Structure 1
Amino acid sequence: MNFHQIYFHQKHFYQIYFHQINFHQINFHRINFHQINFHRFHFHRFHFHQINFHQIYFHQKHFHQIYFHQIYFRQKHFHRIYFHQINFHRFHFHRFHFHQIYFYQINFHQKHFHQKHFHQIYFYQINFHQIHFHQKHFHQINFHQIHLHRIHFHQIHFHQKHFYQIYLHQKHFYQKHFHQIHLH
């Protein structure tokens, strides 16, 4: 593991396994790492600020040029996910399972993800802005084998939706309200 030009401040590292990880130009500030397994990770030019990582498993991930600010990760499983040039700002990830997902050039801003399951989803050049993922916005939704490509979600309310084996390509959703819709 290579730690290079990193600032660790007011952190709590507890029961964490770091294996074959490269930390480069990363700033960890007021973060609590608890019961996390980092395995074969590459952190490059990252800034972690006021984030709490609790019982999270990072496996074979690549984080590149991402800014994490005021984010709370709790009981998450990140497996075979690639985060590239993504900005996570004021996010709350709670009881999430990310499995075989590719995040590329995505901006997550002021979002709340709660009790969601993302499985085999491909996010490419998507901008999530002012969207609330919660039990009233994104509620009881299963994203399974979906490909989102060059899509912009802006001020959208998704409630009680089921997305199954759907391919969205070059779509633009702007100020739309989706309520009790089932796409199969």
Structure 2
Amino acid sequence: MVIYSKSFSIKSFADGTDGTGTIEGYASTFGGAGDRTGDIIAPGAFKASIEAGIKPKMFWDHDKSQVIGVWDELSEDDHGLFVKGRFIDTEQSQYVRKLVVMGAIDAMSIGFFVKKATRNMDGTRTILETELFEISIVPIPINTEALITDAKSFDAYKSLDAAPDYTDDLNILNRHLSDLKSFLQKGK
């Protein structure tokens, strides 16, 4: 069985009352011309997962060893799969949350098994039914239109002097992004 992942946009972000932060947006959108892999998600593709009460895991960049939160709500509307979730209070989760607030990270990506799909004449594939198992926060989405449309600021630090120094972490992230961009360009 092949595992697939697709990326989509974060609609909004807010700090939770417990300081952990909440996030919402479209984890998947329906229709269109297809993403970088040539897949199109059909309306209703997540219906069975939602009706079964499946709560996908929230990972950082599809890494199952880095659970960073929980998805509390999933629903389909005319636009796609809308999700709402909360970051948990761990160092990694709060690091990702701060990257989202800064605008350095601005996308989500779904992990799923394809249950039913059709191949189209133009080479794209329409996914009709999935088994959704995870929704990750990611630095580079497969869907090039997967961008944050709304984010609320985080005012935890009154001055830059009080803020932690994430320079080394951002350098590592930039190297990761560069490697990923190179990989994606080779596939074109």
Q: TM-score range by the shorter chain?
A: under 0.3
TM-score w.r.t. length of structure 1: 0.24
Higher strand proportion, which one?
Answer: 1
Structure with the bigger RCO (C-alpha within 8 Å, sep 6+) is: 2
TM-score w.r.t. length of structure 2: 0.23
